[in-house]
Structure formats: structure tokens, C-alpha cells
């Protein structure tokens, strides 16, 4: 039976009206010949398709671990994953089968089918995980997929506790709760925690079905494996599947994923990108020399990536790991993409943020969807049931009944989207984006007024009302420092129960801010810029006639606060003599493995990097307001946003472009995101354990910020020199242009510039760029490289 007929047969067998499957080629396929270095991918491969609703489906093969994952970037952020091993239990990497996938619909379900092949005579499949991509992400972060197939399944304690709580209710009350979950009894709920595996013989095929309904019973997700019965034998266990070739020939497996979850509404380049950029893209298409052809291929690849993460509902942060709304990622990308986005895109971003804005004015950092929302809402249900139990035991019947009613309300919408407001930086980024929208003379005043007076998320709140909540939040947060500008009055990260500070900005790993309390990027860049933006918003609202009834912000108060905050960067300045630099770097290198130490000692010996004083902005301050001396790339954000003096520009650029391990710059790699040589051994150890924001990685976000910042500063310096020519100005422009060229060459040479982040390894005296293990393949703020290429083309014009 061929692939199309088998797919149709499976749909008919399920009793659903079947639409003919449609062959669909991948939208993108990494690594791509002529563009990517396969060695840097270390056995990793991925393809992106569109399903029958044109929603994005990403399939990746993590060869070194034998993990196969299909992300369904739909309204529930679903995924299906499994691990493939050889007969000895070692991870093995199947190859792609056919290039095209098959997409189809049947009733309210959508399916996508692809093929895998293996040269081994036997493959074992296990660690089947169906549900939320967040759960798949956690499974891999904890490396549970590397354990034996019969190891305990991935724990979801929130759901286990929910079932236990529900089971303890009275029979009548328990039945009410079960009905809300579309379950007949408690045992049915328990079966929803793990996928079921069944085998059937259909025509000449073995069909193995691994399926799992959502815990709330509202959607269904299934994985189907189909193998030719003549060519291979299939054995099914409780949690694993064994496929044996009958003749030793390669094993061919058709993999089919079916879901009934909700869909998103994709938008394409015509709505995303402005006319100027699309004309630029067409001009690049017309270039026929080899470098021009390659440049166009890169641009087209990134445009396709942007389309894959874009929908009317949201801009997803990244694929595969972050296929949801992230406030920071969207706001940062809005600022960086402004030169190339269509006029409606800022309204799209602002509207998305306002729909999710907290009553306090805080911006949602991340949404939880589908299975992840169910887990988080289950925790809320468990709290209500615990409250009910306490009140019942204390004889407080009315309070007990109230708690139980709230528990039922949670169950009735167990999959409702949840918002996370734990981050701080996005709260201050938002007014900067709004101010740019209101300052845009291309958008008519009537359109701005109508947009702000439209509803934000419900029938009672306008976008203007929600926006004013955020502005008020910014003002309240900045007030203590504005009244008394001392370091300990800066915006602080909250303290966790374990005593460490929550890293509430983009470096959100445990080691990201060195356990600092006051982040430099928030306090030296985002808050001052947000206060200035609030002043501009107040002026714009007045001009639009929207300042009646005392609704507009106090312009004078925000202007005074902005003045007080304008020099907040001074608290983060670190100054080191050449001798202090050499001492610190020598101590840091002494604890590295021998081969790495020898490599970096060679870099220092061939460079004067440690022969001059060093001044930089520290990553953060400790609880007492003292700098935690980690050099970092965050000043690139200031160079991108702020009108800085020539001396300040050169100071902030110096640390980025000085060779590592003194500064941050690594040829053929790019600027690493941090340098801890000047910090304490305790911080060295933290970064060793958690490399995500460490000196081992380059971040695409920071690289693109640097490029856009340098383009902006070059344009500013060139204009200033044209108005008032001087030799120092000429030298300044030359320094900026040289830095831009060096950074562009290094990042391009890495071969990984489209990744979320990348790392390196040192072997045989050489440094080799490598893909970072949990890096996203498409990251929204990495796609801002489109804006970089557009801005660079403008700089090159005579």
C-alpha cells in the first residue's frame, strides 16, 4: 500500500470523513547545503512544514541522543516525541525518508505524516511523550529521555495531586468534578497521564498507535507508526516498541501525527514587511554573482522563518522551544525590526501586549498553553481543595463551600491560558515601543486614536486604559530612585525563598546575573528610556485629545524622573588598571582545562589586549549596591537606543571588541555574552554549571543588537562630522566601521549566525564553533538580522 492510500485508509478506519492527503515540501530544512556546516550541527537535523491549517510543524532529529520530536506550533503548543536506540540500548539517529510530508484533515483533526529510515536490523523506540512542548522541553532539560525505557515516567506532580484530591471528595462532589473533566471515573483520569500503545495489522502494514487525550478531555493527540509487515516485525510493550528487519534491509517507518487542538491564523510577508524592505529583497534576488545568490538565499530563509513564527494571535518567540507569546522577545524584536516592518506591525505588537497586561500594569512575560496551562491550573485547583479541607475541618462551612466552588471553576477551564509576570525588563520596554508608534508621522492621528480607544481584551477596558496602567506602574517603580538616587533604590530583582535573586531580565538562567540584585540593563538602559518614552506618550495623548478627565500621565513628573535616572549607569562602572587586568585573567585561566588554558594564553601573547586600562559596565550590583564584575554585551542595547557621547560610545564598544579572555571578542565566533574573569571564583563555578549566559556562548540577539547599534552610531557620527568636520570625528567613524566589519566577519565565519545562540570547543589547538544544545532553530529576535542587512545596505549607499 503506498503512502497516500495508507493514510486515507487510516482516516476511514477512524470513521472520519477523509480529505485526500496533500504532499507538502519542507518550508525550511537545516543544515542546508552551501549555507550550514553540518559538523557544527553535531548530528542535529530539522525540517519545517505547514499542516492543513497552514500552522507550523517542526520535526527534528537529535542524532547524538536519538530523540525525534515534532512540534505542533498551534494554539496549544503541542509536541510528540520519542527516542530511538539500537539493540544494545545506545542512541541511534534515523535518516529522513521522503522529502515531502503528507498533510490531511478528517473531521476536526489534522494530520502530518513523514518518513524515517534506519540501516540497523533492529531499532527500539521508547520515551513516548505526547502533550505540551513545555513538557518535552523539561524532559530534555532533565535528561530523562536518556534513561532506560522502563525508568519511571516523567513526573507531573500537579496532576497526580489533583487526582488524589478529587478521589477524596464525596461521591456526589467527585462526580461533579469528573464531569467537568469529561471523565467517567478517577481511573480514566489516571490513564490520561500516560500514552497508550496498541498494535494492529492493516493490509500489509503493522500500525502502532500511541495516543493520549488531554487531561481535561478537550483535545486528542496521537502518534502512528506504520511499518511494512513483509519487511519487518513489530513487537509492542507497555512503554516501548521494537522493530526488526526480516532480511537485514533498512527499516522504513511512516510517522503520522494527528491532533484536534485549536489552530492559529498565519500571516505572511506582505503583512509583515514594508514596501522598502520587500523592494530590497527583490533587488537582492536579481543579483546573479555567487555572493549575491548566497546573500539572497540567507534573506529568503530568514523571511520564511519570520512567516513560520507569525500569526494574527501572536509572534512566537522561537522554534522549537518557545512557540508561544513572550513579551520581551516580541518587544525587543519590534524595536529592532522597526526599519523593515509594515506600519501595522507595531499595532499588532502593542495590541498583543495590552490583551495580556496585568491589572497592576505589568507586561506578561510568557503564556502557558495546552498541557502546560493544565499543569499550572491544576496547582491552583489543588490550593483551593486544600483550603476547602482546612475550612471543613475547622467547621467553617460557608468558607469551605466557597473554596470548593472556586475549585470547580478552575476545572471548568483547566486549559485556560495562564500568564507569567515574573520578568521586569519587558515592563519598561513596552512604553518605548508605544512611544515610537505614537511618534510615527506615517500613521494618521485618527488611526492612532481609534486604535487606543478600541477594546484591549474584554468589553470594559480600552487599550488606552490598559496603557495608562503600564505607565503608572513605570512611574511607581522608578519613584524611589528618582526621589533619592542611590544604588540601593534602583529597580531590584525579588529574592527567592532559597535566598538567591530571581533573574528578572533576559539573562534569566540561574547564573545569568551572578546572583545580582540590581541588573545593569534594566537600571542603566531600560528604565531611563522608559521614563523618557512616558513623557513622549503624555505629549502625544494630549495632541490626540486623549488627555481628558486626568487620564494622561504627568509630563513634568516623568521628565523630572527621567533626569534623575539619566546617570544611573554610574553605579555599574568598573575600572581596572593593566596590572589588575593581567592578574585577574591569569587567575581565571589557571583553573581552565590544560588545552583551553594553552589556547587562550596564546591569544593573549599575540595581542596587546591586556596592556591598557579597562573600563566597563558591570552586569549587575549585589544587594549592597556593589558591582558584580562580569563584563557583558548588554551595553550594546544602550548603543542601539541612546544618544551617547563619543567617549561613552567608545568605552562601551571597547569591552565588546577587545579580544577574549580580556574582553569579549572571539574571531570566527563573535562576542561572547559575558566574561567572568574579573568576578569571584564562586561566579566562575556558577557559569561552569550553567553555560546558557556564560563566557562559552554567543547570542544572536546580542550580535544583531550590536550590528544595529553600530549602524546607528555610524550614521550619527557621520552626520555630526558632516555638520562640523574634525579629525577626531573622522577617527571615531573609522573606529566604528572597523568594529562593524570585524564583528560581521567573525559572526559569519561561525556558520551559526541564524541560531538562538552558539558555543565553541577547543581541540588540537584550534577553536571550533558548535551549535548550542538547547538552542532554538528559529528565534524571533535572531530574525532581526533582516533589519541588520537592510540597514547595512543603507550605510553602503553613496
Q: What does the H/E/C string look like for 37-52?
A: CHHHHCCEEEEEEECC
490 touches 621 (CB < 8 A): yes
More confident residue, 12 or 170: 170
- Which range (7-16, 416-425, 703-712) has the least confidence? 7-16
Look up cell 577553536; give the residue. Answer: 767
Tell me: the pLDDT tens digits for 318-335? Answer: 999 999 999 999 999 999
What is the DSSP pairing of strand 670-671 with strand 665-666? antiparallel
CA–CA separation, 646 vs 666, rounded Å?
25
Tell me: the pLDDT tens digits for 596-630? Answer: 999 999 999 999 999 999 999 999 999 999 999 99
What is the DSSP pairing of strand 766-771 with strand 778-779? unpaired
Helix intervals (H) in 197-274:
269-272
CA–CA separation, 85 vs 79, rounded Å?
20
382 touches 374 (CB < 8 A): no
Residue 572 confidence class, pLDDT cut points 50, 70, 90: very high
CA–CA separation, 417 vs 324, rounded Å?
11
- Which range (467-481, 544-558, 611-625) has the least confidence? 544-558
Residue 17 confidence class, pLDDT cut points 50, 70, 90: low
Q: Which of 612, 637, 796, 632 is nearest to 714 (CA)?
A: 796
136 touches 170 (CB < 8 A): no
pLDDT value of residue 486: 98
Per residue in 487-522, is it b (16+ CB within 10 Å) or e — as a string?
Answer: bebbbbbeeeeeeebbbbbbbbebbbbbbbbbbbbb
Entry pTM: 0.93
CA–CA separation, 527 vs 562, rounded Å?
8
pLDDT at 4 over 50: no
673 touches 759 (CB < 8 A): no
CA–CA separation, 262 vs 343, rounded Å?
29
Q: What is the DSSP letter of 18?
A: B
pLDDT at 40 over 90: no
Write out the three cell numbers for 667.
574571531
Tell me: the pLDDT tens digits for 485-519? Answer: 999 999 999 999 999 999 999 999 999 999 999 99
Helix intervals (H) in 500-609:
520, 527-543, 555-565, 578-590, 594-605
- Which range (159-163, 408-412, 444-448, 722-726) has the least confidence? 722-726
Tell me: the pLDDT tens digits for 201-253? Answer: 999 999 999 999 999 999 999 999 999 999 999 999 999 999 999 999 999 99
pLDDT at 25 over 90: yes
**DSSP tally for the chain: helices H, then strands E:** 27, 33
Q: 36 — phi, psi (to 5°)? A: -120, 150
Tell me: the pLDDT tens digits for 676-695? Answer: 999 999 999 999 999 999 99
Per residue in 35-61, is it b (16+ CB within 10 Å) or e — as a string?
Answer: ebeeebbeebbbbbbbbbeebbbbbbb
**Cα 698 to chain center, whole Å?**
15
Query: Residue 580 class from Cβ within 10 Å (0-12 exposed, 13-18 middle, 19+ buried)?
Result: middle
CA–CA separation, 41 vs 104, rounded Å?
31
Put the strands of the sheet holding 766-771 in their side by side order: 698-699, 757-763, 766-771
pLDDT value of residue 126: 98
Residue 458 confidence class, pLDDT cut points 50, 70, 90: low
pLDDT at 3 over 70: no
pLDDT value of residue 773: 79
115 touches 96 (CB < 8 A): yes
pLDDT value of residue 798: 60
What is the DSSP pairing of strand 316-319 with strand 766-771? unpaired
Residue 96 confidence class, pLDDT cut points 50, 70, 90: very high
pLDDT value of residue 796: 77
pLDDT value of residue 41: 87
Mean pLDDT, the chain, integer: 94
Write out the three cell numbers for 150.
522502563
pLDDT value of residue 550: 56
3 state SS of 132: strand
pLDDT at 15 over 80: no
- Who's near 319: CB < 8 A, 6+ residues apart? 48, 56, 58, 71, 73, 308, 309, 776, 777, 778, 779
pLDDT value of residue 257: 98
pLDDT at 460 over 80: no
pLDDT value of residue 459: 64
Q: 617 — phi, psi (to 5°)? A: -90, 125
Give percent of the chain above pLDDT 70.
97
pLDDT at 729 over 50: yes
CB atoms inside a 10 Å sphere around CB 388:
23
In terms of phi and psi (left: phi > 0; alpha: psi -120 to 50; beta: otherwise), the region of 765 is left
Mean pLDDT for 663-679 is: 98
Tell me: the pLDDT tens digits for 440-455? Answer: 999 999 999 999 999 9
pLDDT at 535 over 80: yes
769 touches 760 (CB < 8 A): yes
In terms of phi and psi (left: phi > 0; alpha: psi -120 to 50; beta: otherwise), the region of 275 is alpha
**Cα 284 to chain center, whole Å?**
29
Mean pLDDT for 351-359 is: 96
Amino acid at each position: 500500500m503506498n503512502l497516500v492510500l495508507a493514510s486515507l485508509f487510516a482516516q476511514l478506519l477512524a470513521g472520519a470523513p477523509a480529505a485526500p492527503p496533500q504532499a507538502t515540501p519542507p518550508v525550511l530544512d537545516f543544515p542546508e547545503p552551501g549555507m550550514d556546516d553540518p559538523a557544527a550541527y553535531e548530528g542535529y537535523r530539522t525540517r519545517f512544514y505547514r499542516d492543513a491549517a497552514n500552522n507550523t510543524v517542526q520535526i527534528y532529529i537529535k542524532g547524538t541522543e536519538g530523540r525525534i520530536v515534532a512540534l505542533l506550533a498551534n494554539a496549544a503548543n503541542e509536541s510528540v516525541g520519542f527516542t530511538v536506540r539500537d539493540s544494545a540500548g545506545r542512541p541511534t539517529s534515523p535518516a529522513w525518508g521522503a522529502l515531502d510530508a503528507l498533510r490531511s484533515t478528517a473531521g476536526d483533526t489534522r494530520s502530518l505524516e513523514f518518513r524515517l529510515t534506519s540501516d540497523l536490523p533492529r531499532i527500539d523506540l521508547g520515551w513516548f511523550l505526547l502533550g505540551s512542548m513545555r513538557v518535552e522541553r523539561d524532559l530534555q532539560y532533565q535528561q530523562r529521555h536518556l534513561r532506560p525505557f522502563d525508568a519511571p515516567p516523567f513526573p507531573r506532580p500537579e496532576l497526580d495531586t489533583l487526582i488524589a484530591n478529587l478521589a477524596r471528595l464525596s461521591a456526589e462532589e467527585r462526580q461533579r468534578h469528573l464531569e467537568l473533566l469529561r471523565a467517567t471515573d478517577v481511573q480514566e483520569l489516571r490513564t490520561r497521564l500516560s500514552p497508550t500503545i496498541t498494535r494492529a495489522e492493516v493490509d500489509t502494514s503493522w500500525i502502532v498507535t500511541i495516543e493520549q487525550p488531554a487531561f481535561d478531555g478537550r483535545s486528542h493527540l496521537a502518534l502512528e507508526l506504520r511499518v511494512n509487515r513483509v519487511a519487518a516485525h513489530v513487537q509492542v510493550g507497555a512503554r516501548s516498541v521494537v522493530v526488526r528487519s526480516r532480511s537485514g534491509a533498512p527499516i522504513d517507518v511512516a510517522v503520522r501525527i494527528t491532533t484536534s487542538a485549536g489552530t492559529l491564523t498565519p500571516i505572511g510577508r506582505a503583512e509583515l514587511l514594508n514596501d522598502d524592505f520587500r523592494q530590497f529583497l527583490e533587488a537582492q534576488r536579481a543579483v546573479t554573482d555567487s555572493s549575491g545568490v548566497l546573500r539572497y538565499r540567507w534573506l529568503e530563509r530568514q523571511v520564511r522563518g519570520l512567516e513560520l513564527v507569525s500569526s494574527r494571535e501572536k509572534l512566537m518567540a522561537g522554534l522549537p522551544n518557545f512557540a508561544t507569546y513572550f513579551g520581551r522577545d516580541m518587544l525587543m524584536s519590534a524595536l529592532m525590526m522597526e526599519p523593515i516592518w509594515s506600519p501595522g506591525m507595531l499595532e499588532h505588537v502593542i495590541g498583543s501586549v495590552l490583551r495580556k497586561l496585568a491589572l497592576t500594569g505589568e507586561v506578561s512575560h510568557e503564556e502557558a498553553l495546552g498541557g502546560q496551562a493544565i499543569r499550572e491550573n491544576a496547582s491552583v485547583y489543588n490550593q483551593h481543595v486544600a483550603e476547602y479541607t482546612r475550612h471543613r475541618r475547622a467547621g467553617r462551612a460557608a468558607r469551605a463551600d466557597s473554596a470548593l466552588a472556586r475549585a470547580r471553576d478552575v476545572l471548568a477551564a483547566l486549559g485556560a491560558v495562564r500568564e507569567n509576570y515574573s520578568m521586569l525588563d519587558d515592563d519598561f520596554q513596552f512604553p518605548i515601543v508605544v512611544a515610537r508608534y505614537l511618534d510615527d508621522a506615517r500613521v494618521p492621528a485618527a488611526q492612532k486614536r481609534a486604535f487606543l480607544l478600541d477594546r484591549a481584551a474584554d468589553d470594559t477596558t480600552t487599550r488606552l486604559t490598559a496603557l495608562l496602567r503600564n505607565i503608572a506602574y513605570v512611574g511607581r517603580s522608578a519613584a524611589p530612585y528618582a526621589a533619592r538616587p542611590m544604588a540601593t533604590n534602583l529597580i531590584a530583582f525579588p529574592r527567592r525563598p532559597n535566598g538567591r535573586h530571581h533573574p528578572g531580565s533576559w539573562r534569566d538562567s540561574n547564573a545569568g546575573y551572578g546572583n545580582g540584585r540590581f541588573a545593569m540593563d534594566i537600571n542603566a538602559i531600560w528604565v531611563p528610556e522608559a521614563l523618557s518614552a512616558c513623557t513622549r506618550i503624555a505629549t502625544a495623548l494630549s495632541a490626540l485629545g486623549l488627555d481628558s478627565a486626568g487620564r494622561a500621565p504627568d509630563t513634568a513628573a516623568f521628565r523630572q524622573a527621567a533626569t534623575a535616572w539619566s546617570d544611573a549607569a554610574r553605579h555599574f562602572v568598573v575600572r581596572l588598571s593593566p596590572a589588575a587586568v593581567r592578574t585577574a585573567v591569569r587567575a581565571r585561566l589557571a583553573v581552565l582545562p590544560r588545552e583551553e588554558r594553552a589556547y587562550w594564553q596564546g591569544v593573549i601573547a599575540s595581542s596587546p589586549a591586556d596592556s591598557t586600562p579597562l573600563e566597563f559596565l558591570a552586569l549587575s550590583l549585589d544587594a549592597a549596591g556593589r558591582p558584580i564584575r562580569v563584563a557583558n554585551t548588554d551595553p550594546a542595547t544602550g548603543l542601539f537606543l541612546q544618544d551617547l557621547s563619543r567617549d561613552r560610545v567608545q568605552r562601551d564598544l571597547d569591552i565588546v571588541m577587545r579580544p577574549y579572555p580580556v574582553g569579549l571578542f572571539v574571531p570566527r565566533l563573535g562576542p561572547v555574552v559575558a566574561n567572568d574573569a574579573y568576578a569571584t571564583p564562586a561566579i566562575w563555578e556558577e557559569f561552569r554549571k550553567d553555560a546558557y549566559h556564560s563566557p562559552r556562548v554567543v547570542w544572536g540577539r546580542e550580535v544583531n543588537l550590536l550590528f544595529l547599534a553600530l549602524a546607528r552610531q555610524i550614521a550619527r557620527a557621520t552626520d555630526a562630522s558632516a555638520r562640523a568636520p574634525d579629525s577626531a570625528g573622522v577617527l571615531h567613524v573609522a573606529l566604528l566601521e572597523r568594529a562593524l566589519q570585524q564583528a560581521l566577519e567573525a559572526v559569519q565565519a561561525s556558520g551559526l549566525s541564524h541560531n538562538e545562540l552558539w558555543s565553541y570547543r577547543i581541540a588540537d589547538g584550534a577553536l571550533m564553533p558548535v551549535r548550542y544544545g538547547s538552542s532554538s532553530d528559529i528565534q524571533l529576535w535572531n530574525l532581526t538580522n533582516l533589519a541588520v542587512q537592510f540597514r547595512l545596505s543603507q550605510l553602503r549607499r553613496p
